[in-house]
């Protein structure tokens, strides 16, 4: 090669080196070129593509570019959760791995502050304990509610009662929001009616010790967690659901926080959107689906009737994870390990087999959450409550980001109405 050619190639690397540095397939490099993310040139021999080394290095440090927002999507910069091909990452950590080794409290602290919380609270640290006045007010507020109300419907009222009795709710500094978050989540749990009277299953602040997952179990399950494996699966579900980037309820929560609404109002905004059947309410549909399968032989009829009626089969398909939801797979594996041979697990497995036979989309986390509820014997609508309490951690993490910014979020409409006159 001539000296001029060597000088001309200085600062450029071939496709193999660029792909290895970025951790992508060579085909992805050319997708980046077509989107204007990377520059490419031909080598003097005409047989190789070259990429600017400095640009590749900058991209490697910054992270892979996400695709441009699609129709109906709003792009907001956030350092909390990244979505991968089949799983999500909390501040760079694999959420599936965290679900297998961390407590819900540890994951919430990581989402809020980006640092590990010690297993034993430090001296002077705020505990995960509800304010007694708030719980008492929330319990009293529920006295006139009709029996059989689903837990998620109660959580709306509980959040409002907790807010009304907290004189510090307008403290929006990071330490204040974290302290409020701990008390708020504990209050949401402790003000729910107790499904059993195991330790930690009391009401109105009674028996409020133990981890949040165990406290919530005692509100949603008529019997104590006799099997440690099922309780572990329950807490793993909370960790997996703690955040999922800019889901609809999180956008609502961020908009509220951007105008400096207090943390309780942020959570109330998220709860309002979460209840929709295309979001957190989807687990209730999957729960009822499994409940209809009295025995495995009924799965074909139950799934077939929904398809015949033009209804979607709840618990299958995901807008992000087209090839499979890793959260669903992990949670189902935990349920299988905890309760092999359980008749409700057999019903869920039969639905999965029937969905695969009919080539439906892959199951999502809503289905696995419903399967956990069926096997554990949780009260109707428990999946929605698990989702709501867990996602409160994520909503407050996003609120903390918004509180640190200056202006409100203000999406703009693309006007398509009549010409203004």
Residue 236: its H or E element: helix 228-240
- Per the structure, the count of domains in the chain is 2
Give the tokens for residue 30: 């050319």
Does 201 have pLDDT greater than 50?
A: no
Q: Lowest mean pLDDT: which of 40-54, 117-131, 295-309, 396-410?
A: 117-131
Q: What angle do CA 160, 192, 105 make, to 5 degrees?
A: 85
Q: How far apart are CA 349 and CA 345, in angstroms?
A: 6
Instruction: Flag whether 243 is in a domain.
Output: yes
Contact 114, 92 (CB under 8 A): no
Q: Which distant-in-sequence residues (6+ apart) come within 8 Å of 56 by Cβ?
A: 13, 18, 21, 22, 38
Is the same domain home to 9 and 148? no
Domain boundary at 11, 28, 62, which?
Answer: 62
Residue 10: give its domain's CATH number. 1.10.1660.10
Provide the domain limits for residue 51.
Answer: 3-62
Is the same domain home to 44 and 98? no
Q: Report the catalytic residues.
A: 318, 366
CB atoms within 10 A of CB 409: 15
**What is residue 60's predicted lDDT score, i.e. its pLDDT?**
81
Contact 191, 177 (CB under 8 A): no
Q: Which of 248, 357, 375 is nearest to 313 (CA)?
A: 357
Read off the pTM.
0.82
Q: How much is the mean pLDDT over the chain? A: 89
Residue 90: give its domain's CATH number. 1.10.580.10
Q: Which distant-in-sequence residues (6+ apart) come within 8 Å of 130 by Cβ?
A: 162, 183, 186, 187, 189, 190, 191, 205, 208
Instruction: Flag whether 73 is in a domain.
Output: no
Q: How far apart are CA 283 and CA 391, in angstroms?
A: 14
SS3 18: helix
Q: How far apart are CA 305 and CA 262, in angstroms?
A: 46
pLDDT digits (tens, 9 = 90+) for 67-124: 556 666 667 889 999 988 899 999 999 999 999 999 999 999 999 999 887 656 555 5
């Amino acid at each position: 090669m001539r000296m001029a050619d060597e000088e001309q190639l200085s600062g450029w690397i071939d496709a193999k080196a660029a792909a290895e540095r970025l951790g992508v397939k060579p085909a992805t490099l050319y997708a980046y070129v077509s989107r204007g993310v990377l520059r490419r040139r031909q080598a003097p021999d005409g047989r190789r593509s070259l990429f600017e080394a400095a640009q590749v290095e900058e991209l490697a440090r910054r992270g892979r570019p996400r695709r441009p927002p699609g129709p109906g999507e709003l792009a907001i910069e956030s350092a909390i959760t990244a979505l991968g091909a089949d799983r999500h990452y909390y501040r760079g950590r694999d959420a599936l791995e965290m679900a297998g080794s961390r407590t819900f409290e540890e994951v919430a602290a990581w989402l809020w502050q980006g640092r590990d919380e010690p297993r034993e609270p430090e001296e002077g640290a705020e505990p995960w304990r509800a304010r007694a006045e708030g719980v008492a007010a929330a319990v009293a507020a529920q006295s006139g509610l009709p029996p059989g109300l689903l837990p998620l419907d109660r959580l709306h009222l509980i959040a409002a009662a907790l807010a009304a009795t907290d004189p510090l709710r307008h403290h929006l500094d990071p330490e204040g929001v974290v302290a409020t978050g701990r008390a708020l989540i504990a209050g949401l749990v402790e003000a729910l009616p107790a499904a059993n009277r195991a330790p930690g299953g009391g009401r109105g602040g009674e028996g409020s010790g133990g981890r949040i997952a165990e406290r919530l179990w005692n509100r949603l399950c008529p019997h104590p967690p006799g099997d440690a494996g099922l309780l572990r699966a329950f807490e793993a579900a909370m960790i997996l659901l703690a955040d999922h980037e800019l889901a609809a309820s999180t956008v609502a929560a961020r908009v509220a926080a951007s105008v400096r609404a207090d943390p309780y109002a942020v959570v109330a905004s998220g709860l309002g959107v979460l209840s929709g059947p295309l979001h957190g309410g989807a687990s209730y549909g999957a729960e009822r689906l499994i409940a209809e399968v009295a025995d495995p032989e009924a799965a074909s009829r139950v799934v077939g009737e929904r398809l015949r009626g033009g209804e979607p089969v709840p618990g299958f398909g995901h807008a992000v994870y087209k090839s499979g939801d890793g959260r669903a797979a992990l949670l189902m594996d935990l349920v299988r390990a905890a309760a092999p041979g359980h008749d409700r697990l057999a019903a869920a497995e039969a639905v999965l087999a029937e969905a695969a036979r009919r080539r439906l989309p892959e199951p999502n986390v809503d289905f696995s959450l419903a399967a956990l509820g069926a096997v554990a014997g949780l009260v109707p609508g428990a999946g929605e409550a698990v989702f709501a309490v867990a996602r409160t951690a994520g909503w407050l993490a996003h609120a903390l980001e918004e509180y640190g910014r200056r202006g409100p979020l203000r999406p703009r409409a693309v006007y398509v109405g009549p010409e203004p006159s």
